[in-house]
Amino acid sequence: TGEVSWLARGRLAIAQSPTAVVFDRELQVVSRFRWPAEDAALVGSTAFGVHRNGRLVSAKLPSGPTRLVRRLPGWPEVIVSARG
């Protein structure tokens, strides 16, 4: 599993536990940092993800670092980004 996101300036991010990688237009690695979530949802230039134990994490792209946002109740498995 994992999530691919297009970023500003033609960059590409791949977030898949245990690492997130950001590439430039030529697919050269711009940054790499720890990503504990299985998937990601992009909101602006911030990636959000849910770890299996219910931790909501985020990372400001392109370089992170990953930080804990909060612990969610229950057993969340999916995260989505929706305009509202």
Query: What confidence tens digit (pLDDT) does each residue in 6-15 have?
Result: 998 899 999 9
CA distance 74 to 31: 33
Q: How confident is the model at residue 1 (pLDDT cuts 50, 70, 90)?
A: low
Laid out side by side, the sheet with 66-71 consists of 41-43, 46-50, 55-60, 66-71
Q: Which whole number is the average pLDDT over 28-32?
A: 95
Q: Count the helices and strands in the chain (H runs, E runs).
A: 0, 8
Residues 13-39 as b/e (b if ≥16 CB within 10 A, e otherwise) read: bbbbbeebbbbeeeeeebbebebbbbb
Q: Which whole number is the average pLDDT over 36-40?
A: 85
pLDDT for 76 equals 80
